[in-house]
Amino acid sequence: MSESLGPLLQLNAITKKFGATTALDAASFEGHAGEVHALMGANGAGKSTLMNVLGGVVPMDAGEIIISGSPVQIRSPHESKALGIAFVHQELNMLPTMTVAENVFIDALPQYGGLVDRDRMRKGAAELLERLGSRFSPEQPVEELSTGDRQMVEIARALARDPRIIIFDEPTSSLTDRERQRLFAIIRQLKQSGVAVIYITHFLDEIFHISDRVTVMRNGQTVGSSAIAAITPTEVVRLMLGEVERQERLREPHAAAGKPLLSVRGLTRRGVLHDIGFELYPGEIVGLWGLLGSGRTELVHALIGLDPIDSGELRIAADSEDRPITPKALHRQIGLVTEDRRGEGLLMPLSVVGNLSLASLSQLLSPLRLIDRRREQAFAEEIVARLKIKLNDPRQAVKTLSGGNQQKVVLGRWLATGPRLFILDEPTRGLDVAAKAEVLRLTTELATEGASILLISSELEDMMRVCDRYLVISRGRIVGELPGGADKNRLMEAVSGGHSTAAAA
Amino acid sequence: MTTAAVRRIASIAAPARIVPLLLAIAILVFLYYHAPHFFAVRNLINILVQMSSLGLLAIGMTLVMIGGGIDLSMPATMAFGAVLGAFYMRAGGNPAVAALITLVAVAAVGTINGIAAAWFKMTPFVVTLASMTAVGGATVWMTNSVSVSHFPDAFFNFYLARPFGVPVTVIILVVAALIASTVMSSTIFGRWLYAVGINARAARVARIPVERVLFATYLVSALLAGLTGVLLSARLGSASANIGNDGVVLDIVSACVVGGVSIYGGTGKPLGAVFGAFFITLISNSLNQLGVSYFMNLVVKGIVIIAFIYLDKLARREP
Amino acid sequence: MKLSSLSLRAVLLDWGFVLVLCAIFVFFSLATAHFLEFGNMIAMLHTMASVVIISCGMAMVVMTGNLDISLGSIAFLSSSIGVLLMTRLGWNPVAAFSVTLLCGVAFGMLNGFIVVVLGINPLITTLGTMITLRGVGLELTQASVIPLPEGVRVLGNLAIGPIFVDILVMAAVLIAVHVLHRRTSFGRQINAIGNGAEVAARIGLPVGRLVFLDFVLAGFLASIGGIVALLQVGSLSAYLGAGLEFTAVAVVVVGGVSLFGGRGSIIPGVLLGALTFQLIVNGLTQMSANPYVYKLITGLVIFLAMYVDALKVGRIHAPPAAEAVEDEPA
């Protein structure tokens, strides 16, 4: 390691606010040439934002960036590239109908006499591809390539500018094992050639496999930095999640009884979910516990038909027996609360009343089959009271509410349809402490009234207050089940323990 | 004038509907002094009759636009349906059956538009552009570019009647406006349509049948186009492909945009569009009174559309 | 991990339009007497010259995933101005037509400004400019037919041997735009935008500037097409360029340029697309078919071509992307 030369890159006390939210709070980072430095943190911890500052995508409010000992200003991706920084984003920026060579050089096409120099372009691309150990032709259209190969093209584009610093943002989320190994080999190569590699990920096993250092971020701050050899996976998880305060349970663990409401068997989607099976009983809150990338969201999408599945069976209890049900049909019977309030949960410009009543309009009609406004208002007010939604007037637009109250509106809408099953996917994301507590309390009330709840959250302390049992998920598989009373150590180990066996080639 | 200043003005005048209202008042005042015969009852009734066809079409377009789409084929469909009905009447058929033929014909066009836009998810602009060209071409072909007339008296007697001095077409406009208003403000369909226009994904999560809702809008707009076609042929005494020329599309879009219907979807009211139709008719009429040519008319409208859409865009950009 | 499917379906979708073209050719050759004659062929190429030129401009706009339906009006207005300069102010044709070309550029800039700077949807923008510009043109010419001055009129029939000059102009434009699209940085980056404007912006391409220039190019080519059409007819009529933009869209889509952007070619795409249409029109004329069928056929063809386009790009019930994901080791 070239630590003798001093760090190649220093990010000091970087602060960034988006409106009222502090995304980065005096965060710091140091990168050395010829070193692979992992950057870890839960969703919203600030790792992507910090790198976006370095990549010129987002301007910082305060702090300094020092490269090779000199302070620099990075105001655009252009300036970032000019400083020798390459950013391989999580979402690949591919131009599918164009060839590999064109994709690699599109922002800096080699020219000869006013025209694009195709020979030079092809040769340049071929060289880069060879370095990356890829065997496809530079003349191939990118749309014919697999995700892994496309990523190679993205990396080639990054390498084309001979960078000193390369940032990889969650590069392995959609790769097969073999492609992942290939990526690691390339990263090792880059390290050997003296490039500073920054590797953002949430896969624990990978950082222990490939990186030399790790820096952990939480809530916009840098909470720890260490050589990999000097830290254990569990310690990393602890840094990521912070001290999990043992908070009061809102409801004692409830033992499931009777027949399951929903049973899932063999749910599989190639490359994403493997043979998932579990049961949900009425009146219980089951926590789906796993780190990001474990397949939690994919499981939810598969259950309700937003994504296709390759195989699997769902059965739901109906009357006194159970019968099979398709994911799309299941969707119609579920109350779904996601973290994406803005995109899927609510209609922002619409009033609170409008959002609350949207799924229950058929019950609010006057004899003329027109919507009875007074009934609708009463309906809304009842929900507002029951869920204690803070607002001035139910007719105000839902976008003027705070995040927590918005979330309650989403819950309230589904509550009114009386579903037997709720899926709550990160329902407390972005809420303040009081709002979190209320949402959790509501959750327990729903369960007490007999609903089944599948709760997904990366905030362990929340889960620990309400869950009756946990299903531990990792890399698309259910790897274990824990009782509701499990303590935080056991939970953290369950989710990091599954990772300490590095993925064998 | 900087963008920021314009934006401030736009948001102060928000909703941008105040602007056309003020302009309309200004124009009326101007006319009062410079062309007082404008306010003769005869002329006013004329205006209402004139705007009734635009108003009906604008109502149809409003529904489509609220859903986030657009229907450029309305005028062509209108001409198509009118011509078919006219052929039937010219051949001696019953006006009532002719009207039915018109409705079936336009419904077919609306169905094609709806299926392509809603289920096949093709871009509404291009879909209706294609049907506009095809249907328009069909009409020109069928009529050999000659207008069709010789309608039975029963036809005129019904559609040109003036119960209590109010022309039938104005009554129809009022009725249609009321129905559309009620549907949009107080029925499940209306709520669903606004939701789809605001955010189709969230609407789907809310269990709204997005495709069916969108399909319905294209069907309704086509039917309204058919209705307008019938009324127009009564007023003009003939049906031809020309009643659906390019200028009409511009008028409809102008009326909707001025009336507060956003081309991005999710907002707008049928009554607003009717007012927009009034405004556009007023402009056309006043320009005529002032001796401005038909062509400059088009120029003014083109500028009006762009200006209003820009204002709408600015007003929307504020958080 | 290549697409191993050279399935019948994929081949049909990609090359179907060539098959259609051949079918049409064969049909009309058999159905009419004079179709196959050299004179007829030359006449066809001559007639379609202006359509081809404007379609090249349209194709470049469509490559970014946008649409410009004001091209016919740009052709009309810019030609009108040129003609009026000649007939009312006595300008010589070179100067007058230079102004015409400048107008084409200016109107292209107008479209570009509204779309890029004001940020208004290009569809609505060009709808507005289409009608506004035509309105101005009609106003200026009072919708009357203005014959060209005698000396200028001859240019319309200028020929080198049996080949009309405008066929050569058409060929030159085709080649130039083709090279522009395939071999210049501008063309490649325009294609990139068609693949995804946000992706292009994230890569760092100057999307706004490129789109603006694209509209300027289209306007410029439209004015050239307008001059060609004007010279062919010998006089300016209110119908110059009317409906031309729709024909151009049809030509472009039939020729394999996808409306979603990023796909297709100028040569052979636009050329074959224009040929297809010209063949249909020519054939129908030879068959003494009703001239009003033309617009109907255009519309039907647009519709069909759009449907095929959507299928090709996989928007309608397409099979899942054949990305060969390797099996996880057990």
Tell me, what CATH number does B155's domain have? 1.10.3470
Q: Are A126 and A108 in a shared domain?
A: yes
In a domain, B138, yes or no: yes
For residue range B248-282, what is the model confidence (pLDDT) as tens digits? Answer: 888 899 899 888 898 888 889 999 999 999 988 88
Q: Are A326 and A364 in a shared domain?
A: no
Q: Are A374 and A327 in a shared domain?
A: no
In a domain, B145, yes or no: yes
Q: Are A225 and A135 in a shared domain?
A: no
For residue range A91-140, what is the model confidence (pLDDT) as tens digits? Answer: 888 999 899 999 999 988 888 888 888 899 999 999 999 888 888 889 99
Q: Are A357 and A329 in a shared domain?
A: no
For residue range A305-344, what is the model confidence (pLDDT) as tens digits? Answer: 778 888 888 888 877 777 888 887 888 888 888 777 778 8
Range of the domain at B142: 16-28+41-317
In a domain, B10, yes or no: no
What pLDDT, on a 0 to 100 scale, did the predictor assign at position A109? 87
Where does the pLDDT of residue C327 fall: very low under 50, low under 70, confident under 90, or very high at 90 and above?
very low
SS3 A463: helix
In a domain, A434, yes or no: yes
What pLDDT, on a 0 to 100 scale, did the predictor assign at position B1? 47
Q: Which range, A466-475, B309-318, C77-86, C277-286, has the best average confidence (pLDDT)?
A: C77-86
How many C-beta atoms surround the C-beta of residue C117 within 10 A? 11
Q: Are A404 and A484 in a shared domain?
A: no
What pLDDT, on a 0 to 100 scale, did the predictor assign at position C279? 81
The 3-state secondary structure of chain C, one letter per residue: CCCCCCCHHHHHHHHHHHHHHHHHHHHHHHHCCCCCCHHHHHHHHHHHHHHHHHHHHHHHHHHCCCCCCCHHHHHHHHHHHHHHHHHHHCCCHHHHHHHHHHHHHHHHHHHHHHHHHCCCCHHHHHHHHHHHHHHHHHHHHCCCCEECCHHHHHHHHCEECCEEHHHHHHHHHHHHHHHHHHHCHHHHHHHHHHHCHHHHHHHCCCHHHHHHHHHHHHHHHHHHHHHHHHHHHCEECCCCCCCHHHHHHHHHHHCCCCCCCCCCCHHHHHHHHHHHHHHHHHHHHHCCCCCCHHHHHHHHHHHHHHHHHHHHCCCCCCCCCCCCCCCCCC
In a domain, A344, yes or no: no
Test B191 with A361 for CB contact under 8 angstroms.
yes
Rounded to whole angstroms, the Cα distance separating A355 from A340 reads 15
Whether C319 and chain A come into contact, CB under 8 Å, resolves to no
Q: Are A393 and A424 in a shared domain?
A: no
In a domain, B8, yes or no: no
Test B206 with A370 for CB contact under 8 angstroms.
no
Test B138 with C302 for CB contact under 8 angstroms.
no
In a domain, B290, yes or no: yes
Q: Are A393 and A372 in a shared domain?
A: yes
What pLDDT, on a 0 to 100 scale, did the predictor assign at position A363? 86
Whether A308 and chain B come into contact, CB under 8 Å, resolves to no
Question: Ramachandran region of residue B91, left (φ > 0), alpha (ψ -120 to 50) or beta?
Answer: alpha
Q: Are A321 and A459 in a shared domain?
A: yes
- ipTM over 0.85 threshold: no
- Give yes or no for residue B53 having a pLDDT over 50: yes
In a domain, B181, yes or no: yes
What pLDDT, on a 0 to 100 scale, did the predictor assign at position A195? 92
Give the number of beta-carbon pairs within 8 Å between A and C. Answer: 82
Where does the pLDDT of residue B4 fall: very low under 50, low under 70, confident under 90, or very high at 90 and above?
low
In a domain, A343, yes or no: no
Test C183 with A118 for CB contact under 8 angstroms.
yes
Task: Assign residue A201 the CATH number of its domain.
Answer: 3.40.50.300
In a domain, A341, yes or no: no
What pLDDT, on a 0 to 100 scale, did the predictor assign at position A393? 86
Whether B6 and chain C come into contact, CB under 8 Å, resolves to no
Domain boundary among A147, A162, A177: A162
Rounded to whole angstroms, the Cα distance separating B46 from B48 reads 5
Give the angle subtended at the CA of A358 by the CAs of A352 and A362, to the nearest 5°: 135
Q: Which residue has the higher pLDDT, B99 or C294?
A: B99
In a domain, A248, yes or no: no
Domain count, chain B: 1
Where does the pLDDT of residue C10 fall: very low under 50, low under 70, confident under 90, or very high at 90 and above?
low
Domain boundary among A240, A274, A303: A240
Q: Are A318 and A361 in a shared domain?
A: no
A151 neighbourhood in chain C, CB within 8 Å: none
For residue range A433-461, what is the model confidence (pLDDT) as tens digits? Answer: 777 888 888 888 888 888 899 999 877 88
Q: Are A449 and A302 in a shared domain?
A: yes
In a domain, B35, yes or no: no
> What residues of chain A score a pLDDT lower than 50?
1-3, 498-505
C328 neighbourhood in chain A, CB within 8 Å: 176-177, 271
C246 neighbourhood in chain B, CB within 8 Å: 129, 133
What pLDDT, on a 0 to 100 scale, did the predictor assign at position B3? 58
Whether B199 and chain A come into contact, CB under 8 Å, resolves to yes
Q: Are A131 and A274 in a shared domain?
A: no
Q: Tokens 């999408």, residue?
A: A301
Instruction: Return all residues near B48 (Cβ < 8 A) that are at least 6 apart.
Output: B167, B170
Range of the domain at A325: 256-333+419-505
Test A140 with C262 for CB contact under 8 angstroms.
no
- Give yes or no for residue B61 having a pLDDT over 50: yes
Test B194 with A345 for CB contact under 8 angstroms.
no
Q: Which residue has the higher pLDDT, C104 or A76?
A: C104
Domain count, chain A: 4
In a domain, A302, yes or no: yes
What pLDDT, on a 0 to 100 scale, did the predictor assign at position C314? 59
Read off the pTM. 0.81
In a domain, A246, yes or no: no
Query: Contact at 8 Å (CB) between A147 and A175?
Result: yes
What pLDDT, on a 0 to 100 scale, did the predictor assign at position C261? 86
| Closest of C14, C83, C35 to residue C236, by C-alpha | C83
Q: Quick one: DSSP state of residue A97?
A: T
